[in-house]
Chains A and B, each alone.
Chain A
Amino acid sequence: MDLFLIRHAHAENAANGDNDAARPLSPKGRSRFEHVVEGLARLGIRFDLVLHSPWLRAVETAQLLMPIVRGESRVTASLAAAPGRALLAQLAGGGAPIDPRAPSIPAEKVAAVGHQPWLSELLAWLVLEDPDVADRLHMGKGAVAWLKGEPTPGGMRLHALFPAKSMASANDG
């Protein structure tokens, strides 16, 4: 499968006492990420499934991805925490449907929208089999890491890493 780990776009700063989970995207983050979506579309990428964290900046980032989603979006608390086996199970083909009446989705292209440091930990876990080396694989805001393989520890290889800025400038060119 193709797995795209996507860090949420640039968000507003939290004022003292504000709920960090409720920070919205900034106008700059929104605009730049729209270019990222255009760039992904130009590469012919369409997602069968988008998993996203429940935090507002990730929800808004997932919403911006929806024009290139041919399947569905799913919110999961597992993307607002350190990566664990439960998340890997959800990434694997969209996870087994809990409801047997629901059609299973042949999720060949899956996006996961989340936060740092957990997203880099997930990336390091999937590619290098070790979440503790996450600092080698930093992901900036709005960055996209394209992985291929099976979502098991060490089961994927990094196909491409797109910083948000490079996607935006590629569109300008």
Chain B
Amino acid sequence: MIPTQPWLEHLVVHVALARVGRDPEGVHQLRVASRRLGAWLHLGDWDVLQSDLRWLRRIAGAVRDLDVLLSERHGDPLDTWLARRRERAQAMLVETLDSPRTVGLQSAFETLPPLADASARANLERLGARVHRRGRRAEDSRGDSDEVEAWHDLRRALRQLRYAREWFELPTKPLRALQDELGELGDLALLWRQLREFPEPHAIRNVLDHSKERLAGALERARAAWKMHRDDVSAES
């Protein structure tokens, strides 16, 4: 039997930290706990509460994305613009954390019964198969306009498989390695999306050009990493 602890406690602790908003780990760990609980729901065939976790992650994600971008210095006016966006995102997050939906989400998890091991393992196998489907799709999308998104989808599936395996205390080393490789692409894609929203693109032309080059390099490394590790994922799953 697999109870929701300790990740429910992790969520509760980091909701409080995220509300204060001074330590970026608060928001980051809130999202980590939320994903791990999402994997737990998936293993248990729960459809309810998934959309609540996704909603919470999306709003916390806006703060987290900006924390990641602000951890690098880009120079002004970009850094000032990003900092202002972060303030707004944090205000929205606080409103969210105080809402009846977030309060209800935590209460609901406190009452959910532990997962039965056998049915959860069947769902674990399905998550492994999904990783391979997404991997094939990412490979097939080479050069397409949605290629970055396809690799991002693979990263999400890998992460969910990893977290699901961790509920069973199974090894996850190749999954983590691959997830880290794809993470670089994800961070750069995020920077690229934010930069494209900047109201005066001519003022950050150098940053834009440099980011585009880094993104192309990261895409190449993501393809190579998948090619190298995909069989390890099969062996593990």
A residues sitting closer than 8 Å to B (CB atoms) are 19, 21-22, 24, 50, 52-56, 59, 62-63, 66, 72-80, 86-87, 90, 98-99, 101-102
Contact = CB atoms under 8 A, between A and B. Distances in A.
A22 B111 contact: yes
Contacts of B112: 56, 59
Contacts of A24: 113
Contacts of B71: none
Given A59-B48, A62-B48, A99 B111 contact: no
A157 B48 CA distance: 29
A54 B111 CA distance: 8
Interface of B: 46-49, 51-52, 55, 58-59, 62, 92, 95-96, 99-101, 103-108, 110-113
Given A98-B92, A98-B96, A75 B49 contact: yes
A117 B59 CA distance: 34
Contacts of A102: 55, 58
B198 to A, nearest CB: 17
Nearest to A90: B100
Contact of A54 (B51, B58, B59, B105): B105
A86 B100 contact: yes
Contacts of A72: 51
Q: Which 9 A/B pairs are nearest by Cβ-Cβ distance?
A: A54-B108, A54-B107, A75-B104, A72-B51, A77-B104, A22-B111, A54-B104, A56-B111, A77-B103
A72 B112 CA distance: 19
B108 to A, nearest CB: 4
27 contacts: A22-B110, A50-B48, A52-B48, A54-B103, A54-B104, A54-B105, A54-B106, A54-B107, A54-B108, A54-B111, A56-B113, A59-B108, A63-B48, A66-B47, A66-B48, A73-B47, A73-B52, A74-B52, A75-B52, A75-B101, A75-B105, A75-B108, A76-B100, A87-B100, A98-B96, A102-B55, A102-B58
Contacts of A90: 100
A101 B61 CA distance: 12
A74 B96 CA distance: 13
Count chain B CB atoms within 10 A of each CB in A73, A78, A99, A102 and give the residue with the most.
A99
Contact of B104 (A56, A63, A76, A101): A76
A142 B49 CA distance: 20
Given A54-B105, A75-B105, A98 B95 contact: yes
Nearest to A97: B55
A53 B104 contact: yes
Contacts of A59: 48-49, 108, 111-112
A79 B100 CA distance: 9
A12 B55 CA distance: 31
A122 B229 CA distance: 56
A78 B102 CA distance: 11
Nearest to B58: A99
Contacts of B104: 53-54, 75-80
A131 B47 CA distance: 32
Contacts of B92: 98-99
Contact of B48 (A75, A77, A98, A101): A75
Most buried by B among A66, A72, A86: A72
Contacts of B110: 21-22
